[in-house]
Structure 1
Amino acid sequence: MLLLALDTATPATTVALHDGASVVAVSSQVDARRHGELLLPAVDRVLADAGLKLSSVTAVVAGTGPGPYTGLRVGLMTADTFGLALGVPVHGLCTLDALAYEVAHSGLGGPFVVATDARRKEVYWARYADARTRVSGPAVDRPADIAAEVAGLPAVGAGALLYPDTFPDARGPEHVSAAALASLAAERLRAGDDLPPPRPLYLRRPDAQVPKNYKVVTPK
């Protein structure tokens, strides 16, 4: 197995390679406005670091969000393109699940919350019993509206760090790493689990809207 993992659902553009036993290369850069510019160079970089060719990849996994429309679609469209070009399966995994999986290595047990920044003074969030078990979500809400649901729970992610009144026990990592995404996907594939397709979790409509009323122009 050589699994190519990528995620653009958070401000991080992150890519990793996993050989079925461990992560062999990873690249992450944080810039919320440059996912499209950074992603392909990051793929080239991890392949070069691992001394491998793109043709060696046997599967692709992409973070499905939730995340902003523009950034999220960059990763998912790129993953689909690689899958078609290489003739390999493309899987999806919830970005919040990968962040939850990552905290297992920090000593945080459970239960806990993962929250990323959804902008508009909102967070994308989910609750976890442990690093591998999501018990609710994902959802998008204003932090104050979920304060009672998350009270007393430690929280991980940039969304939690932004709102200390709701998440007083907030900690890093702020953004997902494709290393965690790849490791979680590899673990589930080894166990024989069916991974979901790479379908985006937008949770809300994009900012751009088609105008409802057009101005009528009549010929003179």
Structure 2
Amino acid sequence: MLLLALDTATPAVTVALHDGETVVAESNEVDARRHGELLLPAVDRVLGEAGVTLDAVTGIVVGVGPGPYTGLRVGIVTAATFAAALSVPVHGLCSLDGVAYAAGQAGLEGEFVVATDARRKEVYWARYADARTRVTEPAVDRPAEVAGQVAGLPAVGAGAVLYPDSFPGVRAELPQHQSAAALAALAAEKLRTGGEFLPDQPLYLRRPDAQVPANYKVVTPQ
């Protein structure tokens, strides 16, 4: 088994290789505006560090969000393209689940909440019974609307750090952005135990910022 994992649902452009037992190589860069520029060089860098070529990969793992429209589609389209070119399966995972799994690897136990920055003064969030078990569907809300549902819970992620008044249990020392290494480790665990994956379709949860104009200005030739 050699899994290539990638995620662009958060400001992190993150890529990792996992051999089914451990992370072989990884790359993490935080830049919310350069997902398209950074992702493929990161894949090349990770493959080079591991000393393998792309055709050695046996499966693709991708975070399917929730995340902002432009960044999220970069990772998903890239994952689908690699999978088609290599004739290997693509395994979709909720990006919030990757952050939760990383928090568990860092020592967080019990129930907690993951919140990432959704921009527009909103967060993407979900509650977890533990690092492997999500108990609510991913949602996008204003932090103040979430506060009552997460009161008393530890909170992980950049969204929680950004809005500490709504997430008073924020654990800023734990992972704030996605880690493809954690995502790959979670996928490897699911493959060993027969766990379920999501289709490689984006979880946008809301309409994109860019909209087609409702009325076009009509210009007639003179």
Give 2:153's aligned amino acid.
Answer: L
1:33 aligns with 2:53: no
1:133 aligns with 2:153: no
SS at match of 1:170: coil
5 Å-filtered alignment, 1:75-154, equals: 75-154=75-154
Give 1:50's aligned amino acid.
Answer: A
SS at match of 2:188: helix
5 Å-filtered alignment, 1:3-82, equals: 3-82=3-82
Q: Distance in 1 between matches of 2:121 and 2:197?
A: 32
Q: Deviations over 1:153-207 (max 9, x none)?
A: 1100000000010111212311010000000000001112242211100000001
Give 1:33's aligned amino acid.
Answer: R
SS at match of 2:137: strand
Pick one of 206, 211, 214 that aligns with 1:212: 214
Q: Distance in 2 between matches of 1:104 and 1:219?
A: 65
Q: Distance in 2 between matches of 1:106 and 1:59?
A: 26
Structure 2 unmatched runs, 5+: none
Give 2:202's aligned amino acid.
Answer: P
Q: What's the % identity of the aligned pairs?
A: 75
SS at match of 2:109: coil
Give 1:103's aligned amino acid.
Answer: A
Answer with 102-111 or 61-70: which moved more.
102-111
Q: Is the 8 A contact 2:10 2:178 kept in 1?
A: yes
Runs of 4+ in 1 over 3 A off after TM superposition: 216-220
Q: Is the 8 A contact 1:189 1:195 kept in 2?
A: no
| TM-score (norm. length: structure 1) | 0.97
Q: Distance in 2 between matches of 1:35 and 1:125?
A: 22
Aligned-pair CA distance for 1:137: 2.3
Residue 182 of structure 1 is matched in structure 2 by 184
Q: Is the 8 A contact 2:116 2:159 kept in 1?
A: yes
SS at match of 1:128: strand
What is the total number of aligned residue pairs between the two structures?
A: 220
Q: Distance in 2 between matches of 1:10 and 1:190?
A: 27
SS at match of 2:190: helix
Q: Deviations over 1:66-99 (max 9, x none)?
A: 0000000000000011011111111100000011
Q: Is the 8 A contact 2:94 2:198 kept in 1?
A: no
Give 2:160's aligned amino acid.
Answer: A
Aligned-pair CA distance for 1:214: 2.3
